[in-house]
Chains A and B, each alone.
Chain A
Amino acid sequence: MENTVTVTIDGITVKVKPTATILDAAKQAGVRIPVLCADDKLHPYGSCRICLVEIEKSPRKFTPSCTTPVADNMVVKTMTPDLFEARKRILELLLCHHPLDCPVCDKAGNCQLQDLVHEYGLGPSKFTEKKRVVPPNYKSAVIDREVARCVLCGKCVRVCREQNAVGELAFTRRGKESKVSTDFDQQLDCEFCGECVEICPVGALTTKQFKYRGRTWNMERTQSVCNYCGCGCRMVYETRQGRIVRVRSAARNYLCGKGRFGWDAVHHADRLTTPLVRVSGELVPATWDEALAMVVTNLNVIKNKRGADSIGGLGSVRTTNEESYLFQKFMRSAIGTNNVDMLARLKVPKGLNTTFFSGELSNISGHDVVLVLDGDVAELNPLTGIEIVRAVNRNYKKLILVNSGYNKLNRIASCVLEYVSPDAALADLLPALKSGQGTGAVADAAAILKEATSVAVIIPARLPDGTYYQVRELLSLLKGATTYPVVKRSNFLGALDMGVLPGYYPGYQKVSPDVVSRFASAWNCMLPEIPGKNALEMLDAIKQGSIAALYIMGDDPAGSDAGLKPVLEKLEFLVVQDIFLTETAKMADVVLPAVSSAEKAGTLTSLERRLQGISPAEEPLGDAQPDWNILQTVAKKMGSAMHYASPSDIMKEIRALVPLYADLAVGSVWPAEKSPLHGSETNLSLLSDSVEKNDVITSERLLFSSGTTTTRSKELTTVCTFKVEA
């Protein structure tokens, strides 16, 4: 084994890569070395000197372990009386200027400096000088800087540049005047992901949202998953007395601004707390019994009078897999129609889950080259953006970017193709790849791509027919290409998997006599044999009057396209299940209050096809109920037998009926080859010129906006107002 070196750490011998640092080797040996400025997310830096170790036969007495590479037969001691004293002195020096305001510091209890000072048992200091007085900086939105507490470890500066490619923070001034600040001490104008707050070892960076809201040791923690975009970042709700006070990323994970700060929409005053029914033109509060009775009677009347196919259902990309499954089951078994679809299909790339299956995001760094066909990827799917930056900044891979504007990816790209759209870029790039034509950036890009043995291709969120074929041709020309489609909505894939599709039962099982009879016997009911109408056809049918009633779960068509308002007005009966009184809910005959993803359990499927569990951090607000329970109650009242005590009961049924999910463990990805649609020409996206699926945008940046929920986040809207003022 020439590719490893042998190192002995505190008597434990380990074999490590020659590029490893002593700190890495110690981790492998299970020996703890205290650190302040080192972090797995970052390159070694060596600013704090807490990680000193002694190396035998070294001319230096102490060596920082986080920046020193290992050498063969190195013998390292990580704790000796001398080292203890040295570290103690270092801490004493750090405390010269660090204010001792732990009692009012929000980091206390979770502060690496506090822990180390405690561990090394520092008493009164020898240094009696006055502490430096540096005023805090509260000018920015979302993030406060308590400058005096900073220990100048540089982690925030580095995470912002190395991991995010934003580089908003930097050291300014020199010597004892050094501080972390922005250009000309302006307010922050960044992505507001809060990664710097998370990584700061002390309380120098804090958030306005959590300021003085509680102490770390009082928090109860609930592991969950972000429900804003398709990345499905793992996160932790921190609650105090049953109310969320903070959201943090799960260990070593990333969260963007929406995930970290956007949860406050859960506490928004507009949340629906009781069912509403329309009485002489006005929506008035009602009891569940009244509202459900109204839903059931009207749906039954319409069904009996005009047939089950005159009722349609629009599902949601925000609800859990269990709820999506129950929604299509409800429409198919209780109502008896295959008219079940999602308008969100307007906003996904053509070929998703048929030609383009996403690889695992953490593998993006494994490719030689990343080819980004959608310049907005870092705003639409922030985690994908971070992985692209990691590939370049940590793993030194090449990035080819198609972008007409300028954003953070431009800063790290090896080659930028300035085209307004991917099809224009591909029109030049394909010939360059095939026959070597082309000049300038295109030729460079083609050369890079030709050399690469594996390429990560980021597929744009919108892919018209022409571009779709170009991308397919591109994939056939590249060696080892893996696709990473951009999927804006959180549980879009889950909803597809669960068969919220007019032509497919859960697990992409095409509506056919076999499948229908299998589901009919499992569900113990009669099922419609012909595929239903898709979302666009349903809208047309409403215009023509052949669909008279619509059941919408967690979507806001009228809010995303004002042109749909007159269409929905044609309906005889509209039921909306949502957490806010959206534009669509305002038009409904019955509005049923649902709970947010912070208040319910279930599973979501991320864009990587990874099944992940969410858990409730709070009790449901008011009378609101989880969507699955509402659906099951309505179904029961309409005569269907549904008896689920919890989402896990529904999951059991899903596992029995959907081969893709049969033995899919929570946390793992279902293999693309198992999909019945793998490699087929089926199109799961709906493109339309007549209907827009716009986002209800609050800020001028897509990054902070994803619709109805983000509009109600105070923190995310402050980002936008701050920026407007600036």
Chain B
Amino acid sequence: MSNKLKKAIKTIFLVEIVQGLALTLKTMFTPSVTRQYPTVKRKAFAGSRGLHYMDRDDSGLKERCIGCGLCEAVCPSKAITVVTIPGPEREKLVASYELDLLRCVFCGFCVDACPVNAIKMTPDFELACYQRRDVFYTKERLMDVGDRYLHRKTGGSK
């Protein structure tokens, strides 16, 4: 059959339109793939890297961080600042732990570097906020994030 004849048949019997409509018809009866974000949220994959949290130590009263500063050292974007002081028993106290999320690139190196697994990540990626100061996470706020994420009752200043 010549090509011309084939083309004529396709044109006369609207073959391509029927094929297309068949696909449309089929899709009308399959479940939709578009998620209605933000009303519908997808479950995070294991290991996804979002907002950090600071774990609590075994007493649950204070941070697990021992102030070694390795996260600060490894952070490629210099987002973390750890300040330590000697405590009353001459132990190392973490006077402040600050994370500047604006700088963070969510590489997760800090989590890997931490020798005591104190700084960890939640899968939470919804970090938009109205005020610039809200992107600076202090030690207390990071612990609150952890409490919320792990549904813990301890602590929680707000």
Compute how far the CA of A434 lies from the CA of B66 in the bound complex, rounded to whole angstroms. Answer: 71
B67 adjacent to chain A (CB < 8 Å): yes
A108 contacts which chain B residues (CB < 8 A)? 68
B73-A211 in contact (CB<8A): no
Are A212 and B92 in contact, with the CB atoms below 8 A? yes
A214 to B125, CA, bound (A): 32
CB proximity of B59 to chain A, nearest CB, Å: 18
Q: Kindly state the separation between the CA atoms of A108 and B92 in the bound complex, as whole angstroms.
A: 14
B115 at the interface (CB under 8 A from A): yes
Partner among B70, B85, B115, B116 whose Cβ is within 8 Å of the Cβ of A212: B85
Flag B60-88 by CB within 8 Å of A: 1 or 0 each.
Answer: 00000011111011000000000011100
Measured CB to CB, the nearest residue on chain B to A136 is B90
Which of B85, B86, B116 is in CB contact (< 8 Å) with A103?
B116
Contact assessment for A213 and B116 in the assembled complex, using a CB-CB cutoff below 8 Å: no
B135 within 8 A of A: no
Bits for A634-648, please: 1 = Cβ < 8 Å to B, else 0.
000000000000000
Asked whether, in the complex, the Cβ of A217 is within 8 Å of the Cβ of B73, the reply is yes
Within 8 A of A (CB), among B29-86: 66-70, 72-73, 84-86
Query: Would you list which residues of chain B between 73 and 115 have a CB under 8 Å from chain A?
Result: 73, 84-86, 90, 92-93, 115
In the assembled complex, the CB of B79 is this many whole angstroms from the nearest CB of chain A, namely 14
Q: Is the CB of A104 within 8 A of B86?
A: no
In the complex, the answer to whether A103 meets B90 with C-beta atoms within 8 Å is no
Q: Which of A136, A213, A218 makes the CB contact (< 8 A) with B73? A: A218
Give which listed residue, A102, A104, A217, contacts B92 with CB less than 8 A.
Answer: A104
Flag if B84 contacts A213 (CB, 8 Å): yes
* A534 CA to B69 CA, complexed, in Å: 57
Contacts of B72 in A (CB 8 A): 215, 218
Q: A103-B115, A104-B92, A217-B73 are in contact. Are A212 and B86 (CB under 8 A)?
A: yes
Say whether A211 contacts B66, CB under 8 Å: no
A138 interfacial by beta-carbon distance below 8 Å: yes
Which B residues touch A217, using CB under 8 A?
A: 73
Point out the residues of chain B lying under 8 angstroms from A144, CB to CB: 90
Once A212-B85, A213-B84 are accepted as A-B contacts, the answer to whether A103 and B66 lie under 8 Å apart by CB is yes
Contact assessment for A103 and B84 in the assembled complex, using a CB-CB cutoff below 8 Å? no
Knowing A103-B116, A104-B92 are in contact, say whether A212-B73 is a contact too (CB < 8 A).
Answer: no
Judging by beta carbons under 8 Å apart, are B93 and A103 in contact? no
Within 562-617 of A, Cβ neighbours of B (below 8 Å) are at none
Q: What B residues does A103 contact at CB under 8 A?
A: 66-68, 70, 115-116
User: For the complex, what is the distance from the CA of A108 to the CA of B116, rounded to whole Å?
Assistant: 16
**Are A138 and B90 closer than 8 Å at their CB atoms?**
yes
- Which residues on the B side are within 8 Å of A212 (C-beta)? 67, 84-86, 92-93
**Interface residues in A88-121 (C-beta closer than 8 Å to B):** 102-104, 108
Write the B115-136 contact mask toward A (1 if CB under 8 angstroms, else 0). Answer: 1100000000000000000000
| Separation of A214 and B73 alpha carbons in the complex (Å) | 12
Chain A residues near B86: list those with CB within 8 A. Answer: 208, 211-212
Q: Are A218 and B69 in contact, CB atoms less than 8 angstroms apart?
A: yes
Q: Chain A 201-215, CB within 8 Å of chain B: the 1/0 string?
A: 000000010011111
Q: How large is the interface on B (under 10, 10 to 19, 20 to 34, 35 or more residues)?
A: 10 to 19
> Given the complex of chains A and B, what is the CA–CA distance between A211 and B116 in angstroms?
21
- Smallest CB separation, B86 vs chain A (Å): 5
Chain A residues closer than 8 Å to B70, beta-carbon distance: 103
Query: By the criterion CB–CB under 8 Å, are A104 and B68 in contact?
Result: yes
Q: How far is the CB of B82 from chain A (nearest CB, A)?
A: 9
Q: Are A104 and B67 in contact (CB under 8 A)?
A: yes
Please name all residues of chain A whose beta carbon is closer than 8 Å to the beta carbon of B85 when the two chains form the complex: 212-213
Residue of B nearest to A211 (CB): B86
Q: How far is the CA of A138 from the CA of B90 in the complex (A)?
A: 9
Beta-carbon contact of A104 and B66 below 8 Å: yes
Min CB distance A124 to B, Å, is 15
Query: In the complex the two chains form, what is the Cα distance from A104 to B70 in whole Å?
Result: 11
Name the residue on B nearest A109 (C-beta). Answer: B73
Task: Give the docked Cα–Cα distance between A423 and B66 (Å).
Answer: 61
Select B69's contact among A136, A138, A208, A215, beta carbons within 8 Å.
Answer: A215
Query: Residue-by-residue, is A302-323 near B (CB-CB < 8 Å gives 1, otherwise 0)?
Result: 0000000000000000000000
Q: How far apart are A113's CB and chain B's nearest CB, in angstroms?
A: 17
- Cα distance A234–B124 in the bound complex, in angstroms: 52
With both beta carbons as reference points, the residue of chain B lying nearest to A106 in the complex is identified as B92
Instruction: List residues of chain A with CB within 8 A of the CB of B93.
Output: 212
A214 to B85, CA, bound (A): 9
A102 surroundings in chain B (CB, below 8 A):
68
Nearest CB in chain A: distance from B87 CB, A: 9
List residues 9-34 of chain B with CB under 8 A from any CB of chain A.
Answer: none
Query: Residues of A contacting B115 with CB < 8 Å?
Result: 103
A104 to B85, CA, bound (A): 11
A136 to B90, CA, bound (A): 10
Task: State A102–B90 Cα separation when bound (angstroms).
Answer: 16
Choose among A102, A104, A138 the residue with the greatest number of B CB atoms under 10 Å from its CB: A104
* B91 closest partner in A (C-beta): A104
The residues of B that contact A218 with a CB separation of less than 8 Å are 69, 72-73
Q: How far is the CA of A108 from the CA of B67 in the complex (A)?
A: 13
- Docked Cα-Cα span, A218 to B116, in Å, equals 20
Interfacial residues of chain A within 211-267, with CB under 8 A of chain B in the complex? 211-215, 217-218
Whether A215 pairs with B73 at a CB distance below 8 angstroms is yes
Q: Is the CB of B90 within 8 A of A211?
A: yes
Q: Given the complex of chains A and B, what is the CA–CA distance between A334 and B72 in angstroms?
A: 53
With CB as the reference atom, state the residue of chain B lying closest to A217: B73
List the B residue with the shortest CB-CB distance to A108: B68
Name which residue of chain B comes closest to A240, CB basis: B83
Cα(A211)–Cα(B86), bound, Å: 6
A103 to B118, CA, bound (A): 13
- In the bound complex, residues from chain A placing their C-beta under 8 Å from that of B73 are 215, 217-218
Closest Cβ of chain B: how far from A434's Cβ, in Å? 62
Q: Which of A183-213 contact B (CB under 8 A)?
A: 208, 211-213
Taking CB as reference atom, which chain B residue is nearest A138? B90
Q: Please encode chain A, from 120 to 141, with 1 for each CB lying within 8 Å of some chain B CB and 0 for all others.
A: 0000000000000000101000
The CA of A454 and the CA of B90, in the complex, are separated in Å by 52
Expressed in whole angstroms, the Cα–Cα distance for A353 and B73 within the complex equals 51
Report the minimal beta-carbon distance from B119 to chain A, rounded to whole angstroms.
13
B45 CB, nearest partner CB in chain A, Å: 31
Q: Report the Cα distance A213→B116, complex, angstroms.
A: 20
CA gap between A218 and B73 in the complex, in Å: 8
A217 and B68 CA atoms in complex are apart in Å by: 11
Interface of B toward A, CB cutoff 8 Å = 66-70, 72-73, 84-86, 90, 92-93, 115-116
Pairs A–B under 8 Å by Cβ, sample size 19: A102-B68, A103-B66, A103-B70, A103-B115, A103-B116, A104-B67, A104-B68, A104-B92, A108-B68, A136-B90, A144-B90, A211-B90, A212-B85, A212-B86, A212-B92, A212-B93, A214-B84, A218-B72, A218-B73
Known: A104-B92, A212-B92, A215-B69. 16 other contacts (CB 8 A): A102-B68, A103-B67, A103-B68, A136-B90, A138-B90, A144-B90, A208-B86, A211-B90, A212-B84, A212-B86, A213-B85, A214-B69, A215-B73, A218-B69, A218-B72, A218-B73
Top 4 nearest A-B pairs (CB, nearest first) are A103-B68, A212-B84, A215-B69, A104-B92
